[in-house]
Amino acid sequence: MLRVGFVAAVMGMTFSSLACAGWMTTTKDDIFSGGQTAMLIGEIDAYHALIFDCDSENLTLSLIEQSKWKDGMDRGDWRLLVKVDQSQIRDFAAQSSQRNEKYIQVATSDRDSILELLKEIRDANTNIQIGMQVKEVDFKWSGTASPSGSTRETDRFLQACKLK
């Protein structure tokens, strides 16, 4: 009986983790513009996510990492790389910063390139590869996001941001 309970608990954790994977959009009313703010989140792993933020004036792309800010993290030539399916690699110049108490981020606000990337993510079929690097210190990190839910959630984000 104890074994059945353990197996059920493990299966429940597995399926709940799978249900959370993929893409999610959150929206809020914006008191300043009368429109909405929105955030599109693409889960990479338990510690990383690709995030698009918008309000009435701004559109940004960030790779977040659950980590504490350390001195010197703002130095260097940060690059944020994204490749959707077989498309070209999109290479963004980015800035590192503390996003909140739990997360640091590498972010860019190259609006036209972000819009092109959003269209690719909306149409993604197999995988979304993400990388960040600082060439001066030979730092590289990469991960993969599933395209599961990307069409529906990207459409919701684009509509909330009035980018459609």
pLDDT tens digits along 16-29: 334 445 999 999 99
Domain boundaries of the chain, sorted by first residue: 23-160
pLDDT of the residue at 12: 39
Which token pair is 47? 């510690």
- The pTM of the full predicted model, rounded to 2 decimals, is 0.83
HSE-CB at 81 with a 13 A cutoff on CA atoms is 16
Burial 98-137 (b: 16+ CB within 10 A, else e): ebeeebbbbbbebeeebeebbebbbebeeebebbbbbeee
pLDDT tens-digit profile of 112-160?
999 999 999 999 999 999 999 998 888 999 999 999 999 999 999 999 9
Q: Go through the chain and tell me how many residues it has.
A: 164
CB 15 within 8 A of CB 134: no
Separation between Cα atoms, residue 57 and residue 38, nearest integer Å: 12
Which token pair is 155? 């459409």
Separation between Cα atoms, residue 33 and residue 106, nearest integer Å: 27
**23-160 under CATH 1.25.60.10, yes or no:** no
Per-residue pLDDT band for 9 (boundaries 50, 70, 90) equals: very low
